[in-house]
Amino acid sequence: MIKPQKNVSLKTYNTLGIDVQAAFFTVIKDLQDLHYARDFCRLQACSWLLIGGGSNLVLTQNFAGLVMVMAMSKLDWTSHTDGLEVCAESGCEWDELVAASVKRGASGLENLSLIPGQVGAAPIQNIGAYGVEVKQCLRWVDVFDFNTGACFKLTAEACELGYRDSIFKRHPHWVVTRVNFQLGHHALTKDNPAQLGYGIIAQTIESMTGEPAVGATVQQIRDAVIHIRQSKLPDPKHIPNVGSFFKNPIVSAKQTAKIQQQWPDLVAYKLDDGRFKLAAGWLIDQLGWRGYSQDGVGVHQLQALVLVATGTAVTGDEVLALAQRIQADVFATFDVVLEIEPRLFNSRGEFWLS
C-alpha cells in the first residue's frame, strides 16, 4: 500500500526546473502501486498526474492532486530468427534502452539516440528524429486504465500513431506500463539498410570515421546522432528546457509555394500525401528569436526551436507567454500556426491553449 507524501516540490521532476508543489506525491514501482494510487485518488476525490522523465511538460501551478513518478524499469530481451524483441517497462530511461539495443547489435532505434525521457512516453508522443519514428519498431503496448483499473494490450496499429500523436492523446486516463519493440537482429546490411535520409547524419559519420556512410554500423549512427544532438541542443541538466517546444507544422503544397515566393530558402520536406512539413525552427529563426532572453526565459542561441529557462525562479506561465509571442509572430509573418509540443498542466490537470 502506498503512502503518498504531502506538499512535495516538483522542481527536480521537470526539466524546466519549475518549482511548483504536488499536494500528494508517490513513486510507482510496480503495477500494484498503480492500483493503490487509483484507490487513493478515488477516496480523496482528487486528480492525478503521472510524470516520467519530466522532459515534455510545462507546470503552471501547484498541482492539487496526486503526482506519481514512474519507476517501473525492467527490461526483457528475446532473440528470434527474424530479429531481437525487447519488452521495456515504461520507467526505463529511453536512451539507456537505445544504448542497450545498439550494444547487442540490434538496429532500429539508433537514430533515436539521446532523446530525453522514459520509454512510456515513446508511443504516446510517437517520438521521432532523423527520419525514424517509434512506430517503425513498435509491436504492442500494455496499458492500465486509471478510470476503471483494467489492464489491456494494444497493437501498434491500434495505437493510432501519427506525427507526435497517438490514441493516448485522446485517452489521457490510459497509462502506458510496458512497451514491446521488434528490432533488427544483426548489424545493418543491404536488406536492413541504415536510415540516412537526413544528410547531416551521413556527413557526420563520414567526418567522424573517414569512411563512406553507406556502410555505417548502428554504433556509428548512434555516435553521429549523439554528436549532432549535443552540438545543437542544450542539456537540460545544465540549461533547463523541454527540447523542441513546437511541432513542425504541416501545410499544403499551395501554402508552401506561397511562402517560398518571399522566402526561397524555406526549409520544407515533402510528405507522401503531397503536403509539406516545414521546419518550425527555421521559421522562428528568420524572425530573429534565436538567442532572445528576457525576464528569465529565452530561446536557445543554437536552436530556435528550444525555449530555455535562464532565470532561477521561472514560472510555467512565463514560459508560455514567450511561446505565445513566438506563435503570434510566426502566424503574422507566414500565416502558419505553430502547435506547442510539450503537455501543459495547471492545478487540476492538463489543459490546451486555444
Number of neighbouring beta carbons within 10 Å of residue 12 = 10
Q: Are residues 164 and 298 part of one domain?
A: no
| DSSP character string of 262-326 | H-TT--EEE-TTS-EEE-HHHHHHHTT-TT-EETTEEE-SS-TTEEEE-SSS--HHHHHHHHHHH
- CA distances to 59, 104, 122 from 164, rounded to whole Å, are 20, 28, 9
Chain-centre distance for alpha carbon 226: 16
Q: Are residues 142 and 28 part of one domain?
A: no
236 lies in some domain: no
Q: Are residues 222 and 92 part of one domain?
A: yes
Print pLDDT tens along the chain (354 aa).
789 999 999 999 999 999 999 999 999 999 999 999 999 999 999 999 999 999 999 999 999 999 999 999 999 999 888 789 999 999 999 999 999 999 998 999 999 999 999 999 999 999 999 889 999 999 999 999 999 999 999 999 999 999 889 999 999 999 999 999 999 864 444 444 566 666 688 899 999 999 888 888 999 999 999 999 999 889 998 999 999 999 999 999 999 999 999 999 999 999 999 999 999 999 999 999 999 999 999 999 999 999 999 988 899 999 999 999 999 999 999 999 999 999 999 999 999 986
Q: Please identify, among 206, 231, 256, the residue that sits at the C-terminal boundary of a domain.
A: 231
Q: Are residues 201 and 98 part of one domain?
A: yes
This prediction's pTM: 0.90
Please identify which of the residues 104, 293, 341, 347 carries the catalytic annotation. 341
Distance CA 28, CA 68 (A): 6
- CA distances to 118, 165, 172, 211, 346 from 27, rounded to whole Å, are 15, 27, 19, 47, 21
Chain-centre distance for alpha carbon 210: 32
Q: Are residues 212 and 79 part of one domain?
A: yes
Please identify which of the residues 244, 290, 318, 343 carries the catalytic annotation. 244
CATH number at residue 141: 3.30.465.10
3-state secondary structure of 234: coil
Residue 164 is a catalytic residue: yes
Q: Are residues 51 and 96 part of one domain?
A: no
Domain count within the chain? 3
Determine how β-strand 151-155 pairs with β-strand 138-145: antiparallel
CATH number at residue 58: 3.30.43.10
Alpha-carbon dihedral 15, 19, 23, 26, rounded to 10 degrees:
30
Contact criterion met (CB below 8 Å) for 124 and 51:
no
Q: Please identify, among 18, 36, 70, the residue that sits at the C-terminal boundary of a domain.
A: 70
Q: Are residues 183 and 84 part of one domain?
A: yes
Please identify which of the residues 38, 164, 178, 343 carries the catalytic annotation. 164
User: What grid cell was written down for 117?
Assistant: 525521457
Determine whether 273 is exposed, middle or buried from the number of CB atoms within 10 Å of its CB (0-12, 13-18, 19+).
exposed
Q: Please identify, among 52, 70, 88, the residue that sits at the C-terminal boundary of a domain.
A: 70
Number of neighbouring beta carbons within 10 Å of residue 212 = 10
Q: Are residues 85 and 41 part of one domain?
A: no
CA-based angle 84:53:20, to the nearest 5? 170
User: What grid cell was written down for 230?
Assistant: 549535443
Instruction: Write out the residue range of the structural domain in which residue 66 sits.
Output: 5-70
Q: Is 276 left (phi over 0), alpha (psi -120 to 50) or beta?
A: beta
Task: State the residue for C-alpha cell 536557445.
Answer: 300
Q: Are residues 46 and 171 part of one domain?
A: no
